[in-house]
Amino acid sequence: MAQVIADRRDIDFVLHEQLEVENLSKHPLFADFDKETVDMIVSTARDLALRYIHPTLKIGDEIGCKYENNKVITPDEFKTAWQAMKEGDWFAIDRPREAGGQGMPCTVAAAARTYMIGANMGLMFPVHLIHGPGMLIELFGTEEQKALYLHNLYTGTWGCTMMLTEPDSGSDLSHLKTTATRNPDGTFNITGNKIFTSCGDQDLTENIIHLVLGRIKGAAPGAGGISLFLVPKFRINPDGSLGERNDVYCTGIENKMGHHSTPSCSMTLGGRGACIGTLLGPENTGLSSMFVMMNKFRHIVGIQGMSVASSAYLYALAHARNRIQGARLGDPEMTPIPIINHPDIRRMLMTMKMITEGTRSMLYYIANVEDKRDTAETPREREIYDNVLNFLIPVAKSYVTDRAVEICNLGMQIFGGYGYIKEYPTEQLVRDVKILTIYEGTNGVQSMDLMGRKLMIKGGRLFRDFLGEVRKSLESFKDVPDIRAFVQAMEAAVDKLEAVGEHLTRTVKGGDLENAYLYACPFMDVVGDIMVAWMLLWRAVVAKRKFATGEPIPDPDFYTGQIHTAETCMRTMLPVTSARMAVILDSCNAPMEITDEAFGGR
């Protein structure tokens, strides 16, 4: 059977041949994760995904989550899948063991997640929601909070939400209006309204712990007066048993384009009674605490994008192999052939392959950098990996999801008219994938984080450490013959990227913030392109080295395919990326100079 979520051969290639993940097991932290264990984890995740999660994909879209009397009701198949995930302990796979997690390397978790998310990203959303609040409780929680919450969260017994957005506070949370009033016992009474709360209610877990951003009465206005609260759906007795219903209710769910497996809820806190919560972490540090957990979540959103794109690619590929239409160019007999033979279909498939595999490597690489940071031997090594990780996280979220939208649309195109109808799988993917560019910080916000923060902080050290890692890697490719021209092209591209980063930094320091931010998204795009190009060249180097050993290779097509994919990237994508970098350097300011009136439309 054709694979429908992700190509296992490719995942294994990235884990073992590109990233050599089993090297991590040399460190005590990951000593258990030898090759055999890693393979077993990926196989188990794939089986779980195919058996329990994938069957919910269409059900989630067509039946979806229903709202009745302040409650969200999920399809029965969701409950079966949730139960299977509970039995396999899939809720906190890369949280530390001492906190109740599985202690898996992030790299391996990323591979496992590819299957589970690709099977139904909407059903997996409440699973990932547990990570954010969980991490914050690990970091900032009192011993009591840890004892009360972590076990139930990390076993999937309780769920989580993140209640951030309000009707007038979306991308900018600093003006939010939710208010917390201190009670004599140290708890808080919380009142407010939230929107777009993913899984604000659901019937998969016994309780739901809402992580709420709000302002303690009397706190400063703006970002500096925001605190974080844990607000359970059912209050929790000191012994951990469930108490009475807390006054936090779902008042409706959004009617969306797709992503129907995840209910997007409007929520009211303290509307009719007392909504009791406890402070998490120090007062007035809510926003900065939030950002601690954002890294993990944004990486997961990147995996959502890559996994959906991967699925769109595999569906399109299977269709292209089976659909008979048209003849080979110039064939006088006009013998009908599978459309995979047509150049334009091949061009589209190659684009899909290039981006799917390039972003897969990128996301696993970023996870691997996190693992390497956590197992680093020197402070400098640890710092480098931390810098590279922080620099690349917005790229993982934004670049990957922007490309995923394009890939799903290409997948639809390969299906022709069939692609547009609900009978075929790609139609849903096109609708679902678009949410990824919007939620968890729009891609515009991610780009502002990359250009305005990650590029600037620590005197540009994050960016320089990132460039250093790329250059070191390119240097190591130089022993491979007949790939030198590509290595040189990549080195030139990296030099140009450095110039672009320096140019943007100068623009910011010179005070022309608006001009610099005009190129935040274009900067994101070129950083992402260069990541993809680097990853694909790296893959080709692995393939070339494999052939150079002279040993028999059971699947040579896989390896020649890596070389063809890298060649396509170097010769068709990288020159365009280079032109885009030149555009950033040119800094046209017309979109700022044009008057509001001139946009027209009055």
Active site residues: 440
Q: From the CB of 410, what's the least distance to a copy of itself, in Å?
A: 10
Element (H, E) at 490: helix 484-509
Tell me if 2 contacts a copy of itself by CB under 8 A: yes
Q: How far is CA 376 from CA 109, 110, 230, in A?
A: 19, 20, 33
Tell me if 342 contacts a copy of itself by CB under 8 A: yes
Q: From the CB of 474, what's the least distance to a copy of itself, in Å?
A: 21
Say how far apart CA 251 and CA 166 lie, in whole Å.
14
Size of the site for a copy of itself (CB under 8 A): 109
Q: From the CB of 11, what's the least distance to a copy of itself, in Å?
A: 11
**Site string (350-379) toward a copy of itself, x via CB under 8 A:** x--x--------------------------
Three-state DSSP at 334 gives coil
Say how far apart CA 245 and CA 210 lie, in whole Å.
13
Q: From the CB of 338, what's the least distance to a copy of itself, in Å?
A: 8
**Site string (44-83) toward a copy of itself, x via CB under 8 A:** ----------------------------------------
Residue 28 or 417 with smaller CB distance to a copy of itself: 417
Residue 27 or 256 with smaller CB distance to a copy of itself: 256
Which of 450, 362, 435, 446 has the alpha carbon at shortest distance from 397?
Answer: 446
Tell me if 485 contacts a copy of itself by CB under 8 A: no
Q: Name the residue with tokens 């009701």.
A: 73
Type of residue found at 187 = T
Which residues in 284-308 are b (16+ Cβ under 10 Å) and which e?
A: bebbebbeebbbbbbbbbbbbbbbb
Which of 326, 311, 463, 479 has the alpha carbon at shortest distance from 390?
Answer: 463
Q: Scanning residues 302 to 331, which ones bind a copy of itself (CB under 8 A)? A: 313-314, 317-318, 321, 324-327, 329-330
Tell me if 165 contacts a copy of itself by CB under 8 A: yes
Q: From the CB of 366, what's the least distance to a copy of itself, in Å?
A: 22
The rounded Cα 362 to chain-centroid distance in angstroms is 11
Residue 189 or 264 with smaller CB distance to a copy of itself: 264
DSSP state of 184: T
Q: Is the dihedral of CA 326, 328, 333, 338 positive or negative?
A: negative
Q: Scanning residues 97 to 156, which ones bind a copy of itself (CB under 8 A)? A: none
Residue 85 or 408 with smaller CB distance to a copy of itself: 408
Which residues in 397-436 are b (16+ Cβ under 10 Å) and which e?
A: bbbbbbbbbebbbbbbebbeeebeeeebbbbbbbbbbbbb
Stretch that binds a copy of itself, among 117-125, 161-169, 266-274, 469-477 (CB under 8 A): 161-169
Tell me if 224 contacts a copy of itself by CB under 8 A: no
Tell me if 429 contacts a copy of itself by CB under 8 A: no
Q: From the CB of 260, what's the least distance to a copy of itself, in Å?
A: 11
**Site string (398-427) toward a copy of itself, x via CB under 8 A:** -------x---x--xx--xx-xxxxx---x
Say how far apart CA 175 and CA 162 lie, in whole Å.
17
Q: Scanning residues 435 to 474, which ones bind a copy of itself (CB under 8 A)? A: 435, 437-439, 442-444, 447-448
